Amino acid sequence: MIGFKLGLVIMAVFLFLLLLLGVVIERMFTGFYYQEMQQETEDLASHFTAMAQSGDTTSELMMSSFAEFSNVSIFNISLNNKVNFHSGVHDYADRSFVRKEDLQAIYAGHSINFLYTDPGGHRYFVAGQPIQRGQAVQSALYVMSSTNSMEQSLSTVRSILLLSGLGAVVIALGITWFIARTLSRPLLQMQTATRKIAAGDLETRLTIRSRDEIGHLAGAINDLAVDLQHYRDTRQEFLANISHELRTPITYLQGYAKVVRDGLYETDDEKKLYLEIINQEAHRIQHLVDDLFELAKMEEGKITLNRENVDLRQVVDQSVRRMELTVKDKGLNLTAAYEGRAYLLPGDRKRMEQIVMNLLENAVRYTDEGAVHIRLQYTGHSAVLVIQDTGIGIPEAELPHVLERFYRVEKSRSRQYGGTGLGLSIVNKLVELHGGTLSITSKLGEGTRCEVTFYREK
């Protein structure tokens, strides 16, 4: 259908231009022939007038001879419409071309010319000029040139133009069909591909390699298919992970709640242990729900910042103190260093605390031995926060994806350490909302380095 419409538009434009060109050429030829024949008739009239005025006795004989061998008729007419001389094929009795006002103009010393059609439908160019003797006009000389040969020539030209136009139309049909097929083929391929993608076949790819807008559109469709496929895969993986993360604490909650409800414990200490497990698993579910709710708000663009002037060093100090007990329990060494002259940064204090705590918790969570180092460096235009750990690190193949939503590095490892795969994507979004940047480098088995840059308000 699109090929037909495209071909129809191209053909309509071509036919319009062809018709316009044909009319212009036909008008040009017609105007040229008319002008040339009119000029020729006037020149003959001037020539014969000069011969008549010369007083040569052979002039009438010469005019008669000329008229016999040409399409020209000559009339010498007096003021009272009397024919003094006639030569040529035009009917002697027909003097309808002699108009009173024209005759008066000629006798006033003026020349006239016009196109005349006789009662039989024949057309002539008529030129009239005065024949003078001294200062007086003695008679009027009319020269009539038939347009028959000119109209035959114009008819031939029109026939040639018509045949040429028909030939051009036939050729144009072929060219239009080829162009329409060539231009519509990639569009049809894209239509088929998008339908397959919409139907769920996200492995569909276009092989259009042109460097024009169509090629760019095909590339965009391929990129969309890749993004949709990645989104589908990560979504499925995310749902599976969430199901697992929820199933485990729910199983604990159901099991230990049944134990406590049915009194299947021997001592109060055992009961307290079971209740503590229930409390921990409830907190685990709450943490997961909070992350999901946070992510949902980010997806909808509903996160707003309550901006104020924030002392980032104070935020880091508080975060370090909050993590001291956890670090001590794991036998890790946690240090914080500050460089440069501190100044206040514009931002949301609560969100900045969330950024620092999330990165610090990740560092501690995935570090079983060694240390976690924090360095906050102030420069003239920015504050750079670096959190370096000696933990298990991130595989090089996984590193480009750690900031993506729903992505989890080594799924079994995430479950082992309690990660949900949402923390870093939330942190990255919060850093972007603050106008900052987040970069992560890591080596497997050696540790991970997270660097956050907050820019000072100019």
**Nearest alpha-carbon partner for 280 in 252, 319, 260:** 252
| Structure tokens that stand for 270 in this block | 């055992």
Q: Torsion-angle region of residue 88: left (phi > 0), alpha (psi -120 to 50) or beta?
A: left
Closest CA to 320 of 343, 336, 301, 340: 336
Residue 337 to residue 322: CA distance in whole angstroms: 17
Domain edges within the chain: 2-152, 213-299, 308-455
**Cα 58 to Cα 42, 54, 423, distances in angstroms:** 22, 10, 120
Find residue 335's DSSP bridge partners.
Answer: 373
Q: Residue 408: its pLDDT value, please? A: 63
Is the CB of residue 307 less than 8 Å from the CB of residue 347? Answer: yes
d(CA 406, CA 424): 10
Task: Render the burial of 413-422: b for 16+ CB within 10 Å, e for the rest.
Answer: ebeeeebbbb
Fold of 308-455: Heat Shock Protein 90 (3.30.565)
Fold type of domain 213-299: Helix Hairpins (1.10.287)
pLDDT for position 406: 57
Q: What is the pLDDT of residue 320?
A: 92
Q: Classify burial at 275, counting beta carbons within 10 Å of its beta carbon; exposed 0-12, middle 13-18, buried 19 or more.
A: middle
If phi > 0 it is left, if psi is from -120 to 50 it is alpha, else beta; for residue 336 that is beta
The total number of residues written for the chain in this structure? 458
Q: Where do runs of H (alpha helix) occur along 54-147?
A: 59-68, 100-107
Q: Considering only CA atoms, which of 144, 162, 41 is closest in space to residue 94? A: 144
Token pair belonging to 400: 């480009």
Angle between helices 268-299 and 423-433 (to 10 degrees): 40
Strands ordered across the beta sheet of 437-443: 333-339, 371-378, 382-389, 447-455, 437-443
Q: How far apart are CA 426 and CA 374, in angstroms?
A: 20
363: nearest Cα among 396, 386, 344? 386
pLDDT at 413 (0 to 100)? 47
**Residue 147 and residue 123 in contact, taking contact as beta carbons nearer than 8 Å:** yes
Which pLDDT does position 412 carry in this prediction? 46
What is the sign of the dihedral through the CA atoms of 101, 106, 109 and 112?
positive
Count CB atoms within 10 A of the CB of residue 161.
16
SS3 percent helix, strand, coil of the chain, rounded to 5, is 55, 20, 25
Q: Is 316 in a helix, a strand, or coil?
A: helix
pLDDT in tens, the chain (458 residues): 566 676 677 778 878 887 888 888 888 888 888 888 888 888 888 888 888 777 666 777 777 777 666 778 888 888 777 888 878 777 777 778 888 888 888 888 889 988 888 887 888 888 998 988 777 888 888 888 888 878 788 888 888 888 887 888 888 788 877 777 777 778 788 888 888 888 888 888 887 777 777 788 888 888 888 888 877 877 777 677 677 667 777 888 888 888 888 888 888 888 888 888 888 888 878 877 887 777 777 767 677 788 899 999 999 999 999 998 889 989 999 999 999 999 999 999 999 999 999 999 989 988 999 999 999 999 989 999 999 999 998 888 888 888 876 566 655 444 444 555 677 888 998 999 899 999 999 998 899 999 999 998 75
Fold adopted by 2-152? Beta-Lactamase (3.30.450)
Which amino acid, residue 17?
L
Q: How many CB atoms lie within 10 A of CB 442?
A: 22
Look at the block and give the residue holding tokens 């409390």.
279
**Distance of alpha carbon 241 from alpha carbon 247, whole angstroms:** 10
- 163 in Cβ contact with 156 (< 8 Å): no
Amino acid at 336: A
Report pLDDT for 166.
85
- Residue type for position 263: G
